[in-house]
């Protein structure tokens, strides 16, 4: 008898991926690994794959009732459409592997920026949307795939030449890497690590905003990791730099790929500071505002829908990032913990 193991990640209970003999996850990961490294296997996979379409990094969407979907176009339909639009056979070479279904149907991304946008939209009955808007409209599964696809397409578009030789680089068929054949340097897609930290002093949490944020929105502190830093060092430095506070303790919550403005890995932390030394000293170069908020104020903010058109920004009307953002998760975790303490 095989007993499933449960592990903790942050505050979530996640079924272990080690279901011996029956794990579809292992099968999927090994299948994807094969496609990434074997061009012949990847070429075969295109015949049974499904495609997410983009036009200059804008994803193709369709409206189905009240739902917004990123349709998966199968390979025969892709070939038919591209032949009708006089697209060359290079569509296979230009596609990127981004994942697969539970049944191991491979998913690919393809940017059709060289074709007329209106013609594609008319043929498929949908439209290419602003990526940020799409990110917050799609269901979670499609959001993950579309975000990965856009990040991979952008990376390949920005890395067509070798940084050492200046010679063109060539992607392998799956898009998992690019190679400079002059220097034999292999380039792999990268994400920039960013820590995002919800600071609290026991009974209050600290939320901040930058001048570029939508009016009324407050969120957790965040900042890029410097070369040579550990994640813990980045948390302590960012809190000290931006609000002039010294972290006493911190703990990891979760991580998230975040596609804005480019591909980053958001690494979520909670941090505490001493209540007796919680006076804020804002770095005006980094922030427009930083405030301590009570549990009641944060609970009310979580009930308010995101409202980018809101004109005022104060403790009575502020709102927090939507549920798709890891900042929202951190704030909810803090509220849940405070409710347990006060119970």
The mean per-residue pLDDT over the stretch 56-85 comes to: 91
Cβ atoms of 61 and 146 closer than 8 Å: no
Q: Does position 7 have pLDDT exceeding 90, yes or no? A: no
Tokens 């856009």 identify what position?
A: 150
Secondary structure (3-state) at 247: strand
The pLDDT of residue 6 is 38
Quick: pLDDT tens for 170-228: 999 999 999 999 999 999 999 999 999 999 998 999 999 999 998 999 999 999 999 99
Judged by phi (left if over 0) then psi (alpha if -120 to 50, else beta), residue 269 lies in beta
- Residues 6 or more apart in contact with residue 150 via CB below 8 angstroms: 54, 57, 59, 109, 131, 259
Task: Provide the percentage of residues in the chain whose pLDDT is more than 70.
Answer: 90
Q: Does position 110 have pLDDT exceeding 90, yes or no? A: yes
The pLDDT of residue 269 is 98
Choice among 31-40, 81-90, 97-106, 149-158 with the minimum mean pLDDT:
81-90
d(CA 89, CA 99): 22
Task: Provide the percentage of residues in the chain whose pLDDT is more than 90.
Answer: 76
When the pLDDT of each residue in the chain is averaged and rounded to a whole number, the result is 89
User: DSSP readout, 152-172?
Assistant: HHHHHHH-SB-TTT-PBPEE-
Model-level pTM? 0.86
d(CA 25, CA 45): 18
d(CA 232, CA 5): 29
Q: Does position 1 have pLDDT exceeding 60, yes or no? A: no
Task: Find, among 87, 74, 27, 15, the residue nearest to 46 by Cα.
Answer: 74
Q: Is 300 exposed, middle or buried (0-12, 13-18, 19+ CB in 10 A)?
A: middle
Quick: pLDDT tens for 21-50: 457 899 999 999 999 999 999 999 998 999
Residue 19's pLDDT band (boundaries 50, 70, 90)? very low
Tokens 């931006």 identify what position?
A: 242
Which DSSP category does 179 fall into? E
- Please report which residue ranges of the chain form alpha helices under DSSP H: 24-37, 39-45, 75-84, 91-94, 117-124, 131-137, 140-158, 231-243, 295-303, 326-342
Secondary structure (3-state) at 128: strand
Q: Does position 10 have pLDDT exceeding 70, yes or no? A: no
- Residues 6 or more apart in contact with residue 210 via CB below 8 angstroms: 286, 287, 288
Q: Is 307 exposed, middle or buried (0-12, 13-18, 19+ CB in 10 A)?
A: middle
The pLDDT of residue 3 is 40
Cβ atoms of 98 and 148 closer than 8 Å: yes
Distances (CA, A) of 342 to 72, 154, 301: 48, 47, 19
Task: Find, among 240, 201, 235, 243, the residue nearest to 218 by Cα.
Answer: 243
Distances (CA, A) of 18 to 3, 11, 22, 99, 136: 10, 20, 9, 20, 32
Q: Does position 13 have pLDDT exceeding 80, yes or no? A: no
The pLDDT of residue 307 is 66
Cβ atoms of 155 and 176 closer than 8 Å: no
* Maximum C-alpha span of the chain: 70
The pLDDT of residue 87 is 63
Task: Measure the CA dihedral 269/274/277/283, to 10°.
Answer: 0
Residue 316's pLDDT band (boundaries 50, 70, 90)? low
The pLDDT of residue 17 is 35
The pLDDT of residue 306 is 78
More confident residue, 326 or 93: 326
Judged by phi (left if over 0) then psi (alpha if -120 to 50, else beta), residue 298 lies in alpha
Choice among 53-67, 88-102, 234-248 with the minimum mean pLDDT:
88-102
Choice among 7-16, 241-250, 251-260, 325-334 with the minimum mean pLDDT:
7-16
Residue 8's pLDDT band (boundaries 50, 70, 90)? very low
Question: Which domains does the chain show, CATH number per domain?
Answer: 6-153 (3.90.79), 192-342 (3.90.79.10)
What sign for the dihedral angle of Cα 132, 138, 140, 146?
A: negative
The mean per-residue pLDDT over the stretch 120-129 comes to: 94
First vs last C-alpha separation in the chain: 41
Choice among 1-10, 152-161, 249-258 with the minimum mean pLDDT:
1-10
């Amino acid at each position: 008898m095989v007993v499933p193991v449960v592990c903790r990640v942050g505050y979530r209970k996640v079924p272990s991926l080690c279901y011996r003999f029956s794990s579809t996850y292992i099968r999927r990961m090994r299948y994807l690994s094969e496609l990434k490294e074997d061009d012949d296997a990847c070429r075969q996979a295109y015949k049974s794959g499904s495609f997410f379409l983009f036009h200059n990094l804008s994803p193709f969407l369709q409206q189905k009732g009240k739902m917004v979907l990123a349709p998966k176009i199968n390979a025969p339909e892709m070939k038919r459409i591209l032949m009708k639009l006089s697209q060359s056979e290079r569509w296979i070479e230009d596609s990127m592997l981004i994942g697969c279904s539970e049944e191991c149907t491979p998913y690919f991304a393809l940017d059709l920026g060289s074709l007329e946008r209106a013609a594609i939209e008319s043929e498929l009955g949908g439209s290419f949307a602003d990526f940020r808007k799409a990110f917050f409209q799609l269901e979670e599964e499609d959001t993950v795939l579309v975000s990965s696809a856009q990040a991979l397409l952008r990376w390949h578009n920005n890395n067509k030449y070798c940084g050492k030789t200046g010679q063109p680089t060539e992607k392998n068929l799956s898009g998992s890497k690019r190679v400079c054949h002059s220097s034999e340097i292999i380039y792999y897609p990268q994400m920039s690590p960013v820590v995002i930290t919800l600071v609290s002093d026991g009974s209050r949490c600290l939320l901040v905003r930058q001048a570029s944020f939508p009016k009324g929105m407050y969120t957790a502190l965040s900042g890029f990791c410097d070369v040579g830093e550990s994640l813990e060092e980045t948390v302590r430095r960012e809190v000290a730099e931006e609000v002039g506070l010294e972290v006493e303790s911190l703990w990891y919550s979760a991580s998230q790929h975040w596609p804005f403005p480019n591909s980053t890995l958001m690494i979520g932390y909670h941090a505490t500071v001493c209540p007796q030394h919680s006076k804020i000293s804002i770095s005006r170069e980094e922030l427009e505002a930083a405030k301590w908020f009570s549990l009641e104020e944060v609970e009310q903010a979580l009930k308010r829908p995101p409202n980018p058109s809101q004109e005022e920004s104060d403790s009575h009307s502020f709102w927090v990032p939507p549920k798709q953002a890891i900042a929202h998760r951190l704030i909810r975790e803090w509220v849940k913990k405070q409710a347990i303490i006060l119970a």
